[in-house]
Amino acid sequence: MAEIKAEPFPFPVKHDRLALIVIDMQRDFAEPGGFGASLGNDVSRITRIVPDVKRLIQGFRDAGLPVIHTMECHKPDLSDLPPAKRNRGNPALRIGDEGPMGRILITGEPGTEILPELAPLKSEIVIEKPGKGAFYATELCDVLQQKGIKQLVFAGVTTEVCVQTTMREANDRGYECLLAEEATESYFPEFKAAAIAMIRAQGAIVGWTAHVDDILESIAYA
């Protein structure tokens, strides 16, 4: 059986069942004036992973494997935004407010778009999600079933929020999950490290973690 070098033990990869899911690589999380910055975060940490996310996406494209993108966003009328989410914390700008890149985390606004370097191809699926997890209130489950996907490689932001939430949702739905370590980031380095540790603890209780180079090497020879 083919394997990807991973922790806590090799990932038993089935190349014909594998897809990449890139979580929320949006301007709102990576650029000044967006949602991430409005929460008081240093967004420069996010832009630093763009080259690794990009080469992971390219590797999947070159191998002819599916690439799925997600975007955290809400309808302009905010009907899919619970007050409990809008009112959380004390952000400088709340979801739906007008910011320097348009309305924060609203579908179709410039700041809500995926970073141009990582833009989806027209042929690739983009899941718009109102929650942190990509399975909640989206068509993701149907898409994966239609494509016969059983294993997901994860990239994107933030490691302990939308990435980990989606990994846990996927794990409970029977998907085998592998997190690409250099292709994910948090605003808090200690939270990224903790998320990676807790995902792969207890014999991969949520999933595996691996280096981008090892994932790329495996799919190049699929």
Distance of closest approach, residue 59 Cβ to ligand TIU, in angstroms: 23
Q: How far apart are CA 200 and CA 218, in angstroms?
A: 20
Please say whether the beta carbons of 183 and 156 come within 8 A. Answer: yes
28, 52, 73, 129: the catalytic one is 129
Q: Tokens 């399975």 sit at which residue? A: 135
28, 132, 162, 177: the catalytic one is 162
Question: By CB under 6 A, is residue 46 in contact with ligand TIU?
Answer: no
Instruction: Report which residue type is found at 130.
Output: P
Q: Where in 68-107 is the site for ligand TIU (CB under 6 A)?
A: 72
Task: Give the Cα-Cα-Cα angle 50, 56, 61 (nearest 5 degrees).
Answer: 120
- Stated length of the chain: 222
Considering only 4, 19, 24, 104, the residue that binds ligand TIU (CB under 6 A) is 24
Residue 211's CB is within 10 A of a number of other CB atoms, namely 17
Q: Where in 174-193 is the site for ligand TIU (CB under 6 A)?
A: 187
Q: Which residue has the CB atom at the shortest distance from ligand TIU?
A: 162
Distance of closest approach, residue 133 Cβ to ligand TIU, in angstroms: 10
Q: Catalytic: 24?
A: yes
Please say whether the beta carbons of 27 and 110 come within 8 A. Answer: yes
Q: Which is nearer to ligand TIU, 125 or 162 (CB)?
A: 162
Under the rule (CB under 6 A), what is the footprint of ligand TIU?
24, 29, 39, 72, 132, 157-158, 161-162, 187
